[in-house]
Structure 1
Amino acid sequence: MAALALDSHIAPPAIVLQVGESERPSARGGRLLPPGFLSTSGSQIVDAAGRSVRIASIGWNGTDSPPGAVLAGLWRVSYRTVLDSIVGGGFNTVRIPWTDAGLDARLNGYNDRLGWIHTSLNWDLVADPAPDANGHYRYVTTMQLFDKVVSYAGQIGLKVIFDHHNNEGTEQKNGLWFDLGPGSASRDGGVKGRVTAETFRQNWQRIARAFAGNATVIGFDLHNEPNGEKGRITWGDGGPTDIKAMCESVGSAIQSVNKDALIICPGPFFYAPPPPASGMDPKYAAPAGNLTAAGTNPVKLPIANKLVYTVHEYPDEVSDIARFGLAQSGTDYVDRMNRSWGYLVRDNIAPVWIGEMGSSLRTPADRDWAASLIGYMTGEYARQGGPAFGPGQQPISASWWLIGPSNDPPYGIQTEWGIGNYRPEQQDITDRMLMR
C-alpha cells in the first residue's frame, strides 16, 4: 500500500527513554523486569536469582489480522513511540500476536509485505528505499517487523511475549489452533483451511528459534482463546483436539530450540459446563478458560519450571457472559475464578497469567468487575478461597487489553497514539497491576 503523507498533526519520532533496571521514568510505581529469562517456582514466576516477579503487560494488536496488517498505530506514529508509551504507562512487557497466514504469507497466496505504515516515521521498516512506478513503498515482512520491535524493546528494558492469535487472520471459527486435518471440520462456512496441527507446531518452532537466547522475549502464549464450545476441545484424552496434548507437543518442540522462554498454556473457553467426556469438571462453566483439570492432570514439559497457564478475564461488555447467567463481580465471580483457575495459584501448583483483561469502565457493572478482579489478583479474597501472597511474593500477573486508542469495547488505554494520553479510569486499574 502507498505510504501515508507526512501530517503536521502526527507526533515526531520518539525520543529513546533512558530506563533503569528497576524504575520507570513515568513514576507510576511500576518496575521493569530484571535482565535475563524467567522461570517458575510453585505458583510464582521468578527471575534468574529466584526472586518473585510480576508480568505487568499490555497487548498490542494489529498482526492478529489478515496478512499485510501491521501492528496498530504505525500508520500514525513510529513503533518506537508505541513501545515508549508502554513503558511510560508503567508496564514491563508487551504481548504481540501473530498468525500462521501472516508468518507464511507467500506460501498461502498472500502478499508477504506489510502495508499502512507511516514511512516518514518508520523508515527502517521500508525494505526498498525506491518506490515502485505507482509511488508505493515495499515494506518489511512480519518477522522482520518483529525483529525491529524486539530489538528496540530490549534497548528500553521492555520484555516481549508472542501470542499465536489465529490461523488465517480472523477469529478461529472452529475454536481450535489449526483449521485443516483430523479434528477440524472446516475453517469457516465449509471453506477448507490451510493450517494443520503440524504446521502450527513448526511455525511456533520457527518463532522460538528466531529469538532463542534473546532475553527480551520471555514467553510464548501458545494460542489465543481456544473455544471448547465450537471445537469440542478435550483435556487429556489424546485425541486431535486435546489441548493438554497440544501444549505438551508444541511446548516440547519450542524447548528443543529455545530452552529459556516461558511456555504459556491456555485453558479452553466454556460458557456452559463442558461435556462429561471432556476431561474437565463437567459441573461448571469457565468462560475465562477451563483449567479445572490442570491440577490433577497437568501439562508436562521437558523443562518443567517454564510452564505458566493463562486465562482471559472480561466483563459482560466484552465477553457477553450475562446471557449465560454468569456473574461478573462479587461472591459468585470469585467462586468461579477459584474453581476455574485460581486454585492453581492458591494451592501453589502453578502460576497463572491473565493474558487479556480489560474494560472501557463506562458503567457501574464494568467498574465492579474491575474491582473484583484486581482485588482477587492481589489477594483480597483469600477468605473466600482466593489466593493469598506472603512476604517476597508477587500477586497474579496479567496483561491489559490494549495499548493505543480503540473505538470498539474495550476502548484502548489511550485517547490518541503517542506518549501519554492515558485514560485515567483505566490507569487507576492498571496501576494496581504493576510489580510491587
Structure 2
Amino acid sequence: MKLPPLLQRLNLNLGFPRLPRPQLLLHRSQHGGRSRMAVPRCSRRRRNILLVSSAVLLLVLGIFTHLYRVEAELSATWRPSPQDVIFASKPLPPPPPRDGFLYTSFELPFRTRGRDVVDRGGRKFVLASVNWYGASDERFVPGGLDVRHRREIARTVKRLGFNSVRLPYSDEMLYSNPVVDPDAVRANPDLLGRKALDVFVETARALSDEGVAVVINNHITSATWCCGADPCDSGWSNDDENSIIGGIPGVSFCRVGQTEKQWVGNWMLVMSRLKDVEGVIAADLRNEVRGIWGTMPWNKWADAAERAGGRLMEMNEGWLVVIGGTESGNDLRGVRERPVRLFVTTAGGKKGGGDGEGEEEVMGGRESATREVKDRVVYEAHVYSWSGWGSTEGRYARRKYDSFARSMRRNWAYLVEENIAPVWVGELGAPRDPGVGDATYWHNLMRFLGEANADFGYWAINPRKPHGNTTETYGLVLDDWETPVLDYRLRAMRELVDENLGAAKAHGDGWRGLL
C-alpha cells in the first residue's frame, strides 16, 4: 500500500528504515522456459560472508595443524648414537695438558690479531668457556658455593675440559651489595659475613688461582633470570636518553633504574676490585642487548660500547673488551660498516705505553691526548635452538645444515672467515634430554664451529637455577657440583677440541685452542 505524501515525508524525516525491494532473478526451468524468483540481496551478502569466514577458518586451522605437527616432530624423543652411549658409560677422559691449555702457559696480556686472540708472543689462545651463573640472580651469589668450595668448583671446570669461565653479575648486585645469606656460602666459611661484591671477587680469584681464565659479564640490570620481555633489562640503560624506553630525567619507570653513566660506573667499580687478579682477561660489556621487535640499532649500542670500553682501557689496557651482538646476541652484521674502536683520553699529554695511535688536542687551556687502543675488541654471538625465530626459514631447531650455516655466516661468522675480528659464541647449550629439534641444532652448531674454528662458551655448568631451586636442564654437573653429566654434549665438545688441535698442529702455529 502506498503511503500518503505527508506520511512519506514523516517516514523520511523520522529516519524510519526503508525495506529493501525484492530482487527478481531469472533462471531456466526444467522445460527450457524462464521463471522469476525473488531472492533478497542481503541473503547473497550473508552467503558470501559465510563462505569467506569458512575459508579463513579453514586456513587458520590448517596453519595451526601444520605448526602442531612441526612442534610435535621437533619435540619427539631423540635417541643418542651408539658413540654417545659408549662415551656415557666410561669415565670422563682427562683434560688436555696444562701447557697450551690454561692461560698460565701463555704470555699475558692477550690481544687480538685478525680473527684470533693471541698472547704477547703471538701464540693463539681459544676461549673454550663455560658459564657459571648466580651472582646475576636474586641471591647475588655464584651457584654451588653452598655445596662446594669455590676452588673445588674451579678444578671441576678444568676437569670437564674448559679453560675459561664467563662470570655474570647484575647491576642490582652493586647497588644493593648486601651481606650474603649464610646458607648460600655454607661450603665457603671464609665468605660468611661478606658482601656480595666480595664473594664475586673471591670467586673470580679462585678461578684465576686454579689457572682458569675469567671473563666478567654484565648480565642484567635487575637481579633476576635473564632474559624476559621486560624492556627495563633489555639494554645497558633504562633511565636516560640512551634507553630503549626513552627516559625522563628524574623519573624512572623501572624497579631498578639505571643511566649509562651509572652502568659505566658499575663497570669501573667491579674491575677496580679485579685489577690484581691475573686470570681476569676480559670484560663482556652487556648480555643480549635487544630492542622491542628489532628496534635496537647496532650503531647506538656500538657508541655506548666505545664509551664504556674506553674507560676500561684507561684503567687497564691489558684487558680484552667483549661486545655482543644486538637482537639478543644474534646479530653482528653491523660490525662490517661500523666496527667498535676503543679510545683513551688523558689530560696533560699522551699516556705512556700501549700500541695505539693518537692525536693531541687543547681542551680548556690544557693539552689533552686521545689515542686509539687497538687489538682489544672481541665480538660475541649467542646461538640457541630457538634463535632465528623471526626468519622465514624458521628457528634453528628446524633448519637443515645449509640453511643454518648461511645464517651463521650472515650474522657473525663472516668476521672470522674473512679474518676481520675474533668472535666468541659466548652462549650456546642444549638440554640433557633433547628433542629432535634440540639435537638437530646442537649437531649443526658443533659442525659449524669445527669448520669455523670459533671460540665458544657453554651455558651452563650449574645443575640448578637460583629461583625456586629448580633443575637446570642444560647443566653439566649433578647437584653435588662435582659429578659430570656424560652425554652427547661433552662428547661433541671434546671432539671439537680434537679437530682444532689437529688443525693447529698441521699449520704449525702452536696450540689453536683447547676445550
TM-score of the alignment, normalized to the shorter chain, above 0.5 = yes
**Bin for the TM-score computed over the shorter chain:** 0.7 to 0.9
SS at match of 1:354: strand
Matched residue, 2:183: 117
Cα 1:341–1:46, aligned 2, differ >3 Å: closer, same or farther? Answer: same
SS at match of 1:402: coil
1:368 aligns with 2:440: yes
The 5 Å alignment of 1:407-426 reads: 407=470, 410-426=473-489
Q: CA deviation at 1:192?
A: 5.6
The 5 Å alignment of 1:145-184 reads: 145-170=199-224, 171=226, 173-174=230-231, 175-182=234-241, 183-184=243-244
1:314 aligns with 2:384: yes
User: 1:63 corresponds to which letter in structure 2?
Assistant: A
Matched residue, 1:337: 408
Separation in 2 of the partners of 1:70 and 1:231?
Answer: 32
Offset from partner CA, 1:86-137 (integer Å, 9 cap, x none): 111010011111111101216xxxxx111253555211101xxxxxxxxxxx
Matched residue, 2:396: 327
Among 461, 482, 487, which residue is 1:403 paired with? 461
1:352 aligns with 2:423: yes
User: 1:398 corresponds to which letter in structure 2?
Assistant: F
1:27 aligns with 2:94: yes
Among 64, 81, 84, which residue is 2:155 paired with? 84
Cα 1:295–1:191, aligned 2, differ >3 Å: closer, same or farther? Answer: closer
Q: CA deviation at 1:410?
A: 4.3
94-103 vs 114-123, which moves further: 114-123
Matched residue, 1:43: 115
User: 1:326 corresponds to which letter in structure 2?
Assistant: R
Separation in 2 of the partners of 1:246 and 1:221?
Answer: 13
Name structure 1 gaps, 5 residues minimum.
1-24, 107-111, 127-138, 237-241, 270-286, 380-386, 388-394
SS at match of 2:307: helix
Q: CA deviation at 1:231?
A: 7.7
350-359 vs 424-433, which moves further: 424-433
Cα 1:86–1:433, aligned 2, differ >3 Å: closer, same or farther? Answer: farther
Cα 1:433–1:140, aligned 2, differ >3 Å: closer, same or farther? Answer: farther
Cα 1:196–1:190, aligned 2, differ >3 Å: closer, same or farther? Answer: closer
Separation in 2 of the partners of 1:365 and 1:409?
Answer: 19
The 5 Å alignment of 1:5-404 reads: 27-29=94-96, 31-33=101-103, 34-35=105-106, 36-66=108-138, 68-105=139-176, 112-115=178-181, 117=183, 120-126=186-192, 139-170=193-224, 171=226, 173-174=230-231, 175-182=234-241, 183-185=243-245, 190-191=253-254, 193-229=256-292, 232-236=295-299, 242-269=300-327, 288-301=329-342, 302-316=372-386, 319=387, 321=389, 325-328=394-397, 329=399, 330-360=401-431, 362-379=434-451, 387=452, 395-404=453-462
Separation in 2 of the partners of 1:184 and 1:264?
Answer: 21
Separation in 1 of the partners of 2:93 and 2:403?
Answer: 37
User: 2:382 corresponds to which letter in structure 1?
Assistant: H
Matched residue, 2:492: 429
Separation in 1 of the partners of 2:293 and 2:134?
Answer: 25
Separation in 1 of the partners of 2:141 and 2:385?
Answer: 28
Q: CA deviation at 1:144?
A: 1.0
Separation in 2 of the partners of 1:186 and 1:78?
Answer: 44
SS at match of 1:253: helix
Contact 1:101 1:167 in 2 (8 A): yes
Q: CA deviation at 1:359?
A: 0.3
Bigger-Rg structure (1/2): 2
Cα 1:231–1:207, aligned 2, differ >3 Å: closer, same or farther? Answer: farther
Cα 1:216–1:420, aligned 2, differ >3 Å: closer, same or farther? Answer: same
**Identity %, equivalent residues:** 23
Contact 1:401 1:412 in 2 (8 A): yes
Q: CA deviation at 1:78?
A: 2.0
Cα RMSD (Å): 2.5
User: 2:380 corresponds to which letter in structure 1?
Assistant: T
Name structure 2 gaps, 5 residues minimum.
1-91, 343-371, 465-469, 498-512
Separation in 1 of the partners of 2:196 and 2:293?
Answer: 29
Matched residue, 1:239: none
Offset from partner CA, 1:305-330 (integer Å, 9 cap, x none): 110000111113xx583897233441
Separation in 2 of the partners of 1:409 and 1:76?
Answer: 16
User: 2:324 corresponds to which letter in structure 1?
Assistant: P
Cα 1:296–1:83, aligned 2, differ >3 Å: closer, same or farther? Answer: same
SS at match of 2:148: coil
Cα 1:327–1:192, aligned 2, differ >3 Å: closer, same or farther? Answer: closer
Separation in 2 of the partners of 1:252 and 1:167?
Answer: 21
Q: CA deviation at 1:367?
A: 1.8
Q: CA deviation at 1:190?
A: 4.2
Offset from partner CA, 1:330-385 (integer Å, 9 cap, x none): 11111011001010000000000011110015122222211111111121xxxxxx
162-171 vs 321-330, which moves further: 321-330
Offset from partner CA, 1:190-227 (integer Å, 9 cap, x none): 44642111100111112222222532001111001111
Separation in 1 of the partners of 2:190 and 2:123?
Answer: 38
Cα 1:265–1:433, aligned 2, differ >3 Å: closer, same or farther? Answer: farther
User: 1:219 corresponds to which letter in structure 2?
Assistant: A
Separation in 2 of the partners of 1:430 and 1:215?
Answer: 27
Cα 1:46–1:117, aligned 2, differ >3 Å: closer, same or farther? Answer: farther
User: 2:333 corresponds to which letter in structure 1?
Assistant: T
Offset from partner CA, 1:376-412 (integer Å, 9 cap, x none): 1121xxxxxxx4xxxxxxx211100111313556420
305-314 vs 77-86, which moves further: 77-86
SS at match of 2:334: coil
Contact 2:110 2:320 in 1 (8 A): yes
